[in-house]
Structure 1
Amino acid sequence: MSGEAERPLLRLVRGTPDDHELAALTAVVAGLASAAPAADAPARRSAWADRSRLVRRPVQHGPGAWRASGFPG
């Protein structure tokens, strides 16, 4: 565990930022780390539980009507 404490939180890879730029970067990273996690999207309902399937267009009569009656409306 002592190896984790010795690693720096941020490491400068390239460039020479001044103190103000490092402070701004640190504030942004700290703000992102402490931000609340995004709310999960509502769970999607199963197609079996979808009540919109009960609302259908009327079944037409005539040749091929039996085949068309099986298609979702």
Structure 2
Amino acid sequence: MSAEEPLFRVVRGVPTAEELAALVGAIVVRSRPAAAPSPAAASAWARSGRPATATPVAGPGGWRASGLPR
């Protein structure tokens, strides 16, 4: 492929500048490798909505500890 050769071409229709921009944006997004978000990157607010992994504390003060963030 030479430097003058386009990466893609429209073979039917006459797209507007906005339609071409949307097409280029979609091609760029699809060509990038998908990166998985790291679990450590979740905020405390996001973690607060997830089920707790540890069992609740039973005994004195257990009710108070159940409402605190882990």
**Alignment TM class, shorter chain as reference:** 0.3 to 0.5
User: TM-score when scaled to structure 1?
Assistant: 0.42
